[in-house]
Amino acid sequence: MVICFRSANAVDPAIERAIADAVDNGCLDPGAARRLIRAEAPLLLLLLEAASAVRERRSGRTITYSRKVFLPLTNLCRDQCAYCTFVRRPSDPRAHTMTPEEILAVAEAGRAAGCKEALFSLGDKPELRYVSYRHWLAARGYSRTIEYLRDMCALVLERTGLLPHANPGVMSEEDLALLRPVTASMGLMLESTSERLLERGGPHRGCPDKVPAVRLATLEAAGRLRVPFTTGILIGIGETLEERVEALYAIRELQDRYGHIQEVIVQNFRRKPDIRMRDWPEPTLLDMLRTLAVARLILGTTTAVQAPPNLMPDGYEAYLLAGLDDWGGISPVTRDYINPERAWPHLRELKARTEASGFQLRERLAVYPDFIRRGQEFLDPAIRSRVAALVDPGGLVPQEKELW
């Protein structure tokens, strides 16, 4: 198949062929990816056109989002990432672990506001670092955070009908199996495959759960257990452009083996005054466009490509030029506790800006339509029945039930 692009003037014919092959065959050559991650015009225009063509083959002109509540189960963590403002030490008065009553109150508010997803985010295994937190768990009959998380997911599911999506950090196969019956999906950001980031002065120094092999093992275990899974990369934390590309290929390799990754997030680092990286340069809109487009060509049509609109509030609709087809979770009730200074856009604004770019915005669940259609493989029976009651034949929330 011969693919011609309107912006192909003055572009190296070899890279033009590589881009056309990626559109035609569903995956970009690694050598081409390393060139395209630095693309300038006119090559950048060619890259964006190709990424858009692949996106339209996958999802047409439909962009999705999930209406959610954010439940920060605990902000204690055994890791101390240099870019994180979420994590607190037990001695910090802002340290907090949510009680069942607090969780239910937020979930009920979400249900009343039309939310379908309950996003559980939390620090990674704080019980391995803090004695006081181990005592807190033990007083409630738990030895591990994952056990408490499991029960809170079940509580929310049973009492409110919201579909839990769990992000508890690195998980073993046993942890994933524990959560699978009470969650619609789970996630773990790969962030990077760079071992350098663990070195002295790096953002992952002293963070045992940020070892790339450990995180990849969780992604692989999720594939074996047929868990609809979210992952992604965090850009601008010190990785090279080549390392950014390598991380995307690592995700694609797992997707080719297991087919369980429902979305890949490209998330941009943002400075905050209370982090060690408060003076670190932030990725630009151009960085995001290049990375999103290269991600789309590497991943092909195998998965959704997502980026958070609240982390680029003045230009996020430009992401639609780069192959993005999902905005992620947006909450009308709770803030983004990972980036608390960055409010989510109002859903009416998000809809207007999406439509002004020529797309339709639709609400999805915490599990994507492809995985709903294959529910016997990917969803526990109890989850499957709840999901079926919430979607139209295409696997999205019925348009007459969408709230703006």
Give the CA distances from residue 170 to residues 59, 167, 188, in Å, rounded to whole numbers and listed in that order.
Answer: 30, 9, 7
Report pLDDT digits (tens) over 218-251: 999 999 999 999 999 999 999 999 999 999 999 9
Residue 169 reports pLDDT greater than 50: yes
Residue 261 reports pLDDT greater than 50: yes
For residues 189 and 229, give the distance between their C-alpha atoms in angstroms, rounded to a whole number. 10
Query: Where does the pLDDT of residue 3 fall: very low under 50, low under 70, confident under 90, or very high at 90 and above?
Result: very low
CATH of domain 58-401: 3.20.20.70
| CB atoms closer than 10 angstroms to residue 120 | 25
pLDDT score of 290? 98
The pLDDT of 200-214, averaged and rounded, is: 97
The pLDDT of 112-125, averaged and rounded, is: 98
What token pair was written down for 257? 């083996």
Residue 387 reports pLDDT greater than 60: yes
DSSP state string for 89-137: -TTSTT--B--HHHHHHHHHHHHHTT--EEEEEE-S-GGGT-HHHHHHH
The pLDDT of 368-386, averaged and rounded, is: 97
Query: b/e for 45-68, b at 16 or more Cβ within 10 A?
Result: bbbbbbbbbbbeebbeebbbbbbb
pLDDT score of 1? 35
Give SS3 for 27: coil
Residue pair 203/237 in contact (Cβ under 8 Å)? The answer is yes
Q: Please, is 143 exposed, middle or buried when counting C-beta atoms within 10 Å of its C-beta (0-12, 13-18, 19+)?
A: exposed
Report pLDDT digits (tens) over 139-164: 999 999 999 999 999 999 999 999 99
Query: Where does the pLDDT of residue 9 fall: very low under 50, low under 70, confident under 90, or very high at 90 and above?
Result: low
Query: Where does the pLDDT of residue 10 fall: very low under 50, low under 70, confident under 90, or very high at 90 and above?
Result: confident
Tell me if the pTM is above 0.75: yes
What's phi and psi for 249, nearest 5 deg? -70, -35
The pLDDT of 2-13, averaged and rounded, is: 62
